[in-house]
Amino acid sequence: MATRKIAVIVGSLRKESFNRKVCKTLMLLAPPTLELEFVEIGQLSLYNQDEDDNPPANYVEFRNKIKEFDGVLFATPEYNRSVPGALKNALDVGSRPYGASAWNGLPCAVISVSPGASGGFGANHHLRQSLVFLNMPCLAQPEVYIGGVAKLYDGDTLTNDDTRAFLQQFIDTFASWVERIAD
């Protein structure tokens, strides 16, 4: 099996983001067939279609960076039953110019993490709607909604063995999914 490069895009911009902590855990659990790398989105200026003919440098850099990967892992908190604006902006920036989307055909998965009980269910499914339009085959199972996440970590360390086992199952399944879908 080839090693597949996976972009990890975290919707939360918080320095102590629980989504980022879960992704760091997934990086430690990932099989050797996956090479996971954070791709930052906080530096992207707001998408403006007027700039399609002369895009800002941060748009071009982001689009080119995404094209280096074989798949994407999205991690999102839930803001008002949807994804954070920074994540939606990254999707928009990467999808342009029309007909040249950096996302096209990339296998992906979505996890949502929340201190609340629902685990970001609404944001997870709202994000999946956009991914269908972007032609990103998305892993259907296992679904990942991690609620009560603040109780599962001590600093950056996951302390819950059941959650660790679940995340191991998820990342192993994702690795198989990417291998089947990626060119």
> Domain of 24: which CATH number?
3.40.50.360
**pLDDT tens readout for residues 30-48:** 999 999 999 999 999 999 9
Domain count, the chain: 1
Question: pLDDT at position 117, please?
Answer: 82
Amino acid letter, 165 = A
Return the number of other C-beta atoms located less than 10 Å from residue 68's C-beta. Answer: 11
Question: pLDDT at position 116, please?
Answer: 85
Sheet holding 71-76, edge to edge: 34-38, 4-10, 71-76, 108-113, 144-146
**pLDDT tens readout for residues 73-127:** 999 999 988 999 999 999 999 999 889 999 999 999 999 999 888 888 999 999 9
**Mean pLDDT value of segment 42-61:** 94
Question: pLDDT at position 105, please?
Answer: 96
Q: What is the mean pLDDT of the chain?
A: 95
Cα 154 to Cα 3, 16, 150, 157, distances in angstroms: 31, 12, 8, 5
161-181 and 18-29 are packed helices; what angle lies between their axes, rounded to 10 degrees?
70
- List the domain range (segments joined by +) for residue 12: 4-181
**pLDDT tens readout for residues 150-175:** 999 999 999 999 999 999 999 999 99
